[in-house]
Amino acid sequence: MLDSIQEIAERNGVASATFSAIGAVKDATISFYDQMEKRYRDLRLDEPLEVLACMGNIGRLGRETIVHGHITLSDAKGQAYGGHLMRGTTVFAMEVVMTELKGIELRREFDSVTGLNQIKDLEDHTQI
Amino acid sequence: MLDSIQEIAERNGVASATFSAIGAVKDATISFYDQMEKRYRDLRLDEPLEVLACMGNIGRLGRETIVHGHITLSDAKGQAYGGHLMRGTTVFAMEVVMTELKGIELRREFDSVTGLNQIKDLEDHTQI
Amino acid sequence: MLDSIQEIAERNGVASATFSAIGAVKDATISFYDQMEKRYRDLRLDEPLEVLACMGNIGRLGRETIVHGHITLSDAKGQAYGGHLMRGTTVFAMEVVMTELKGIELRREFDSVTGLNQIKDLEDHTQI
């Protein structure tokens, strides 16, 4: 799913964008960011799931395209799960809305406080 | 809730749109799509719930208006649930943001691979 | 997190807007609206959590700026929780997309039926 979203962006020449998606996946790999140890811990959901929402953005880290998305999923009982969207999430069906940010460049830089590649140079808009 | 969203669209002459909503419902009917059996399985939540997010779109299947939404809900303990939004979900209070897609027509057609009425003719934008 | 979103709006002179956010928090205070008793019941989540989605809007109640957001969270096991976003939610990292509603004023007024300060004067768009 991550690669598919990236492919849509690249195929359409979109460098900076926000996106949201709903749909269904055959399985999912998500992660939880350990704020103390500053690393992602993977979680594997090996069953068909609804995608209740996947929200995020497309930007750049150096010359690399970065898709950053958080996904909310539900299982056959309606229970909801979620985390940071990782590679290894297989799309069954998906509807994506991608909104290009014209004139805005989402550039990421490593931030040592959080250990994350955070969006820079957008002034107040991301400084919360 | 589904009928209300459809009514807003029809009253404002909106044929294609995306929407998101937050609010609260008195009860909810949601469903999980069984990817093997290719049919929706209904789930009934018979209690007041917060609507954490409801995201989707409005399009057409032939001459029929189709509202497709996925909803994330939470109960009095903060536990989250969700699924495909079905008729039989009673609004208590709701705030909807509907964004008309001018010049874009969301038309659905039956897709035998998934068993779903999927959005067609939007080229790369939905091909994930 | 609520104050930070409000500060972004005020610093940029934004009176009416919609927003969405993803990220992570160190802890969270959320609430569930008791539809019978017409009051919010607070829930405290005292651990680091992913913000799967936070969706809402910025408007006014009299001369006061009101940030209304619903938040979906997940814990280290991927379990999802959520509710009405309250003060007392500490941001670890956050990416907010705020869309100013130019020419639209989101004004809230007390509604005795629900006990909520609901958005008024937007005609059909919020009347579901």
Per-residue pLDDT, averaged over C82-111, amounts to: 94
Interface ipTM: 0.93
Tokens of B83: 């699924």
Whether the CB-CB separation of A73 and A52 falls below 8 Å is answered with yes
Contact in structure between B51 and B72 (CB atoms under 8 Å): yes
* Other Cβ atoms closer than 10 A to A82: 35
Q: Is the model's pLDDT at A128 over the cut of 50?
A: no
DSSP track, A42-81: EEEE-S-EEEEEEEEEEEEETTEEEEEEEEEEE-TT-BEE
Q: Of B21, B128, A46, B40, nearest to C78 (Cα)?
A: A46
Cα torsion C98, C103, C109, C114: sign:
negative
Measured in angstroms, the CA of B79 and the nearest CA of chain A are apart by: 8
Asked if the Cβ–Cβ distance from C77 to A18 is below 8 Å, we say no
Residue A5 has pLDDT above 80, yes or no: yes
Q: Hey, of A16, A27, A30, A32, which one would you mutate to test binding to chain C, going by the most C CBs within 10 A of its CB?
A: A32
pLDDT band at A103 (very low <50, low <70, confident <90, very high): confident
Put simply, the answer to whether B80 touches C81 (Cβ < 8 Å) is yes
pTM for the structure as a whole: 0.94
Cβ separation of B81 and A75 shorter than 8 Å? Answer: no
Determine contact, residues A92/A23, Cβ cutoff 8 Å.
Answer: yes
Name the residue in chain C with its Cα closest to that of B72: C72
Q: How far apart are CA A100 and CA A118, in angstroms?
A: 19
Give which of A39, A43, A47, A70 to mutate to test C binding, by max C Cβ within 10 Å.
A70
A 27-56 residues inside an 8 A Cβ radius of C:
30, 32-36, 41, 43, 45, 53, 55-56
User: DSSP 3-state assignment of C5?
Assistant: helix
- Closest Cβ opposite residue A126 in set C20, C72, C95: C95
* pLDDT tens for each residue of B43-93: 999 999 999 999 999 999 999 999 999 999 999 999 999 999 999 999 999
Q: Model confidence over A68-83: pLDDT tens digits?
A: 999 999 999 999 999 9
Cβ of C95 within 8 Å of Cβ of A41? The answer is: no
Per-residue pLDDT for B126 more than 90? Answer: no
Which residues partner with C7 through β-bridges?
Answer: none
pLDDT, tens only, A9-31: 999 999 999 999 999 999 999 99
Selected residues 84-123 of chain B with any CB under 8 Å from a CB in chain A: 84, 111, 114, 116, 118-119
pLDDT of residue C95: 96
